[in-house]
């Protein structure tokens, strides 16, 4: 389809480019043109563009077009555990509430609870996710059926999946649909045996592929790894070649200077998850130290079992203010920098550089943000408003791959929101019938 967004403020999020007034044109799944008003007049005069056929024209009413937010770490089907097992430490939460209940899930459960998460992503302006969960092909199917962009990674550990299964998923899911891609990964050092870790590291080395995992999330995790191997999780995984071709660490709360040096040298991205880390009392990640060292940083929500919502606007705010609190310096990190983590930082970590900004030839993954809502007025500085006052309620429209999937409270994903919600309620009642 040829779609024209006009009468818009445009925040391309290209380095050094300020917000301007203009239009964005979409052709199929790509951005065909991003033009300021002055350039539009020139294009119209030289090419007689009124003869262009538009399948759809959208008056943005002076609201803001910007790239969609990316969620750099999540476990989508864990919506079924939302608010079930709160106010517990991580290890107790995992082994008492999460793992036992996950054993009850059927593929159909995983599919519907992933679709529930997608509703939440879309209405909050998230256009792609980096998802780790059991049965990635089912999550992939839920995303494809919804028109939603998803990067998957394996949750390989000693209880679910295997290295062979991970490699099969890599081959299959990287060629199944343009919306879907897959990265090698495992759950965590503390849930995965040395033999499995070394086998995965060897496979990643032969494939020259990056690897992703939960990393240095708690003090307990780091202390126990030091007891087992005499080194931190970052250093241990690096010692077996896990990060020879880069990758990513989810959380990275408890790291030292040597860990940060390894992350930088190995081009390992850090995905911070501030709400989950606060709620589980895991700590505050050293964001400023990562940025000062040149480590790429993204932002994620983690799953709805530990967060409990999948709202990237809240994560953006928390990333900004918790960094200031940790450093005891209100000027340690700027709003623009934090917002870029949720877009280009995540895009780099996820291998989605084709969706990191609004420019010609990039993927048409974008959102329209209401600038006339009370929390967005006055407009002293729009990016700061987005970071410190922005809300999912400000999202008017979400487009992925040139398709509008959410607009003004309505979803366009092949099934009504009411139907998905009802099915998830029924499935949750079955799973937790004995509680």
d(CA 212, CA 153): 7
**2-67+355-411: CATH, from 2.30.40.10, 3.90.480.20, 2.40.10.10, 3.40.50.300:** 2.30.40.10
Predicted pLDDT at 379: 92
8 Å CB contact between 362 and 399:
no
3-state SS record for the chain:
CEEEEEEEEECCCCCCCCCEEEEEEEECCEEEEEEEHHHHHHHHHHHCHHHCCCCEEEECCCCEEEECEEEEEECHHHHHHCCCCCCCCHHHHHHHHHHHHHCCCCHHHHHHHHHHHHHHHHHCCEEEEEEECCCHHHHHHHHHHHCCEEEEECCECCCCCCHHHHHHHHHHHCCCCCCEEEEEEECCHHHCCHHHHHHHHHHHHHHCCCEEEEECCCHHHHHHHHHHHCCCHHHHHHHCCCCCCCEEEEECCCCCHHHHHHHHHCCEEEEECHHHHHHCCCCCCCHHHHHHHCCCEEECCCCCCCCCCCCHHHHHHHHHHHHHHHHCCCCCCCHHHHHHHHHHHHHHHHCCHHHCCCCCCCECCEEEECCCCHHHCCCCCHHHHHHHHCCHHHEEEEEECCEEEEECCEECCCCCHHHHHHHHHHHHHHHCCCC
The whole-model pTM stands at 0.96
- Break the chain into its structural domains and give their ranges: 2-67+355-411, 69-353
* Architecture in CATH for domain 69-353: Alpha-Beta Barrel (3.20)
Tens of pLDDT, residue by residue, the chain (435 residues): 999 999 999 999 999 999 999 999 999 999 999 999 888 777 766 665 556 689 999 999 999 999 999 999 999 999 999 998 788 777 777 788 888 899 999 999 999 999 999 999 999 999 999 999 999 999 999 999 999 999 999 999 998 889 999 999 999 999 999 999 999 999 999 999 999 999 999 999 999 999 999 999 999 999 999 999 999 999 999 999 999 999 999 999 999 999 999 999 999 999 999 999 999 999 999 999 999 999 999 999 999 999 999 999 999 999 999 999 999 999 999 999 999 999 999 999 999 999 999 999 999 999 999 999 999 999 999 999 999 999 999 999 999 999 999 999 999 999 999 999 999 999 999 999 865
Predicted pLDDT at 90: 72
Predicted pLDDT at 47: 61
Which residues are within 8 A (CB) of 132 and not within 5 positions of it... i.e. 6 or more apart?
73, 74, 75, 152, 153, 154, 155, 185, 187, 212, 250
d(CA 313, CA 137): 28
């Amino acid at each position: 389809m040829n779609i024209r967004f006009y009468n818009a403020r445009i925040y391309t999020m290209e380095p050094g480019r300020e917000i301007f007034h203009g239009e964005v044109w979409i052709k199929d799944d790509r951005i065909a043109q991003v033009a300021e008003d002055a350039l539009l007049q020139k294009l119209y005069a030289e090419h007689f563009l009124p003869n262009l056929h538009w399948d759809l024209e959208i008056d943005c009413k002076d609201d803001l077009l910007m790239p969609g937010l990316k969620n750099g770490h999540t476990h989508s089907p864990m919506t079924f555990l939302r608010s079930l097992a709160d106010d517990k430490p991580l290890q107790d939460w995992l082994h008492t509430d999460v793992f036992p209940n996950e054993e009850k899930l059927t593929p159909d459960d995983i599919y519907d609870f992933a679709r529930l998460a997608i509703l939440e992503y879309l209405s909050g302006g998230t256009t792609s996710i980096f998802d780790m969960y059991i049965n990635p092909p089912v999550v992939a199917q839920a995303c494809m059926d919804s028109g939603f962009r998803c990067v998957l990674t394996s949750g390989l550990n000693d209880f679910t999946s295997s290295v062979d299964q991970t490699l099969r998923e890599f081959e299959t899911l990287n060629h199944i649909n343009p919306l879907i891609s897959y990265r090698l990964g495992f759950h965590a050092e503390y849930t995965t045996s040395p033999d499995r870790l070394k086998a995965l590291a060897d496979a990643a080395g032969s494939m020259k592929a990056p690897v992703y995992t939960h990393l240095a999330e708690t003090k307990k995790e780091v202390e126990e790894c030091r007891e087992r191997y005499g080194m931190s999780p970052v250093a241990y995984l690096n010692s077996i070649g896990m990060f020879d071709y880069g990758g990513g660490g989810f959380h990275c709360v408890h790291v030292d200077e040597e860990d940060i040096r390894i992350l930088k040298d190995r081009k390992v991205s850090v995905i911070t998850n501030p709400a989950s880390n606060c709620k589980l009392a895991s700590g505050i990640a050293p964001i400023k130290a990562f940025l000062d060292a040149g480590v790429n940083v993204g932002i994620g929500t983690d799953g709805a079992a530990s967060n409990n919502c999948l709202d990237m606007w809240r994560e953006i705010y928390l990333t900004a203010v918790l960094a200031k609190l940790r450093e005891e310096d209100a000027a340690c990190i700027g709003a623009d920098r934090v917002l870029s983590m949720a877009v280009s930082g995540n895009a780099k970590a996820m291998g989605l550089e084709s969706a990191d900004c609004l420019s010609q030839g990039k993927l048409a993954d974008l959102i329209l943000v209401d600038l006339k809502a009370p929390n967005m007025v006055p407009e002293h500085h729009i990016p700061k408003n987005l970071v410190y006052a922005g809300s999912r309620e400000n999202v008017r429209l979400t487009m992925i791959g040139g398709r509008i999937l959410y607009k003004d409270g309505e979803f366009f994903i092949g099934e009504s929101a009411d139907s998905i919600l009802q099915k998830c309620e029924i499935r949750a009642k079955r799973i937790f019938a004995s509680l």
